[in-house]
Amino acid sequence: MRIKSYFANSVEDGMAMARAELGPDAMLVNSRRTSPETRHLGDYEVVIVTDLAAAAEVASQPAALPASGEQARRGATGDRLSADVAQLKKELEGMRRAMTHTAFAPSEWRVSPDASHAYASLAASELAPDLAREIVSAAEARLGPPLAAKAGVPERIDSARFERALAEELESRIRVEPLLGRSEARPRIVALVGPPGGGKTTTLVKLAVNYGLASRRPVLLLSADTHRVAAAEQLRSFATILGVGFQVAETVAALAQAIEENHGKELIFIDTPGLAAGDVADFGGLAQFLSTRSDIDTQMVVSSSMKSADLSRVVDSFEAFRPQRLIFTKLDETGSFGAIFNESVRTGKPLSFFATGQRIPEDLEAASRSRLAELILGGQGSRAQSAA
Ligand SMILES: Nc1nc2c(ncn2[C@@H]2O[C@H](COP(=O)(O)OP(=O)(O)O)[C@@H](O)[C@H]2O)c(=O)[nH]1
Ligand SMILES: [Mg+2]
């Protein structure tokens, strides 16, 4: 960028001088009447720039540019002026950045860049705005009362301490229960419900291997998924490969009977049909059965790549099943993990397991608070790793 001041008796004359010296792309960015000290150089000071992008930025400055008697030489380069403009540009850039941040930041916050940056990253993880705000404020409160910061001067806070406080605030709001079964009830009976394609069957098999076969517990896989042809067959093949018991239950009565007959098993997993929101009402019998049996632990399986609003709708549509816990799948398919957090906070349901890929049985993790906080805080663009 080249900036020069020209002094002339009219703006047109000043422009003509500039074009003669700098070429046709010289652009006027500012003109004003000269001060009494510089009047002898001409009636007008005309500030010219040859870089168009810079011109656009400089032109937006309403304030007149400073000039002094010494530098005001007719047709001379305004070295000081350039320095002033550069300084002004820097300040403007800083202000612009601060304004973007404060557009997000609620006014009760300290003037802390860390806080507005934290808010921006939580928002980027798709954490609900009210939760993000609450968490950032709480993290700030952990740092103690604000130091006596001058008005408008950003308060310096210990960034590492603030990040820890932020992670702790996130973690304190996450409930996890990586459990299978209802308290003392034996056998442990787990039913997985959820929309189609969420990963119920895959996750069920992963759970059966990791928590059944791996510790030599007798396992039964029960398919109540008679909605789709071949759905039960998928589970039957897995059962055959794993060498565990398998039964299909066509009706609720058959399901109850299969459970009754297999009281000697330690773990019973029930696979259910994938239901779209509109189908849930058609499965009232199954919902009634699963939600009223005090020995059945019903868990809802949903994909973490769903948008928060859709997730809420889907989870709400399964309320007739009274799922006690949430299993999130496909963490490997998303870069923003806020929806998992939002939904767990909204419903008050604890998180039980995370599925992180298609590999059976490796891609399964017990849900952990620190893991989710880490994904949310460092999650943009990073991928979930498998627990294998
Ligand atoms: N990438 C990825 N794919 C998954 C995960 N869990 C399940 N899937 C895939 O999602 C598809 C549907 O899974 P399935 O278990 O049949 O879903 P269901 O209809 O709920 O029983 C299959 O192709 C699975 O391999 C996961 O955690 N990550
Ligand atoms: Mg299935």
> What ligand has the least distance to the C-alpha of 196?
1
Q: Which residues surround ligand 2, an ion (CB under 5 A)?
A: 200-201
**Structural domain range at position 334:** 188-378
Specify the pLDDT at position 307. Answer: 94
Looking at the fold, whether 146 and 252 belong to one and the same domain comes out as: no
Provide the 8-state DSSP code for 357.
S
Specify the pLDDT at position 224. Answer: 95
Looking at the fold, whether 225 and 355 belong to one and the same domain comes out as: yes
In a domain, 386, yes or no: no
Looking at the fold, whether 118 and 229 belong to one and the same domain comes out as: no
297 pLDDT above the threshold of 90: yes
* Nearest alpha carbon, ligand 1 atom 14: 199
- Give residue 387's pLDDT band: very low, low, confident or very high (50, 70, 90): very low
Looking at the fold, whether 33 and 134 belong to one and the same domain comes out as: no
Helices (H) and strands (E) in the chain, counts: 13, 11
Q: What's the 288 CA to ligand 1 centre distance in angstroms?
A: 26
Specify the pLDDT at position 66. Answer: 41
Specify the pLDDT at position 134. Answer: 94
Looking at the fold, whether 156 and 268 belong to one and the same domain comes out as: no
Q: What's the 347 CA to ligand 2 centre distance in angstroms?
A: 24
Is the CA virtual torsion 214, 216, 217, 220 positive or negative? positive
In a domain, 61, yes or no: yes
Looking at the fold, whether 296 and 317 belong to one and the same domain comes out as: yes
Tell me the mean pLDDT in the region 15-26: 83
Q: pLDDT tens digits, residue range 180-192?
A: 999 889 999 999 9
- Give residue 149's pLDDT band: very low, low, confident or very high (50, 70, 90): low
Residues at CB less than 6 angstroms from ligand 1: 194, 196-202, 274, 329-330, 332-333, 355-358, 363
Distance CA 38, CA 45 (A): 9
Looking at the fold, whether 21 and 76 belong to one and the same domain comes out as: yes
Query: How large is the C-alpha radius of gyration of the chain?
Result: 33
Looking at the fold, whether 87 and 194 belong to one and the same domain comes out as: no
In a domain, 70, yes or no: yes
Specify the pLDDT at position 58. Answer: 41
Looking at the fold, whether 86 and 112 belong to one and the same domain comes out as: no
* Nearest alpha carbon, ligand 1 atom 12: 197
Looking at the fold, whether 227 and 373 belong to one and the same domain comes out as: yes
Report the number of distinct structural domains present in the chain. Answer: 3
Q: pTM for the complete prediction?
A: 0.72
In a domain, 181, yes or no: no
In a domain, 388, yes or no: no
Specify the pLDDT at position 54. Answer: 45
Token pair 């349901």 is found at 349
151 pLDDT above the threshold of 80: no
Tell me the mean pLDDT in the region 18-38: 80
> What ligand has the least distance to the C-alpha of 225?
2
- Tell me how far CA of residue 69 lies from CA of 35, 64, 270, in angstroms: 9, 16, 88
At 277, list the tokens: 């929101």
In a domain, 387, yes or no: no
Ligand 1, pocket-test mutation among 192, 193, 358, 386, most atoms within 8 A of CB: 358
Q: Which of 40-49, 85-94, 95-104, 145-154 has the lowest mean pLDDT?
A: 95-104
Q: pLDDT tens digits, residue range 80-104?
A: 777 777 777 766 655 554 544 444 4
Most confident by average pLDDT, 74-78, 224-228, 255-259, 381-385:
255-259
